[in-house]
Amino acid sequence: MNNRMGRTALVIVGVVALLVGAVFAGQGANLIPGSSMTGERMWLYIGIVVAVVGIVLIVAGLRRPRRDRTGV
């Protein structure tokens, strides 16, 4: 993704996904009390997956675009 707006959107969505995933994982691991998700292992696993997706999106948004060596 080469345009700046799209890359910024990837980073923003990635940060949100990372934060949501961290909260889900924290509740699933019984570290954040006060929800029906607390202590449920399923939410730990879902949170880890969502957080990893967030990290991938952040990295994709922050990577520099490839330069075309052909000069076209």
* Sequence spans of domains, the chain: 4-62
Output the pTM of the full model.
Answer: 0.82
What's the 3-state SS for 31-47? CCCCCCCCCCHHHHHHH
In this structure, how many other beta carbons lie within 10 angstroms of the beta carbon of residue 18? 19
In tens, the pLDDT along 8-48 reads: 999 999 999 999 999 999 999 999 988 888 888 999 999 99
Q: Are 44 and 29 in contact (CB under 8 A)?
A: yes
Q: What is the pLDDT, as a whole number, of residue 38?
A: 87
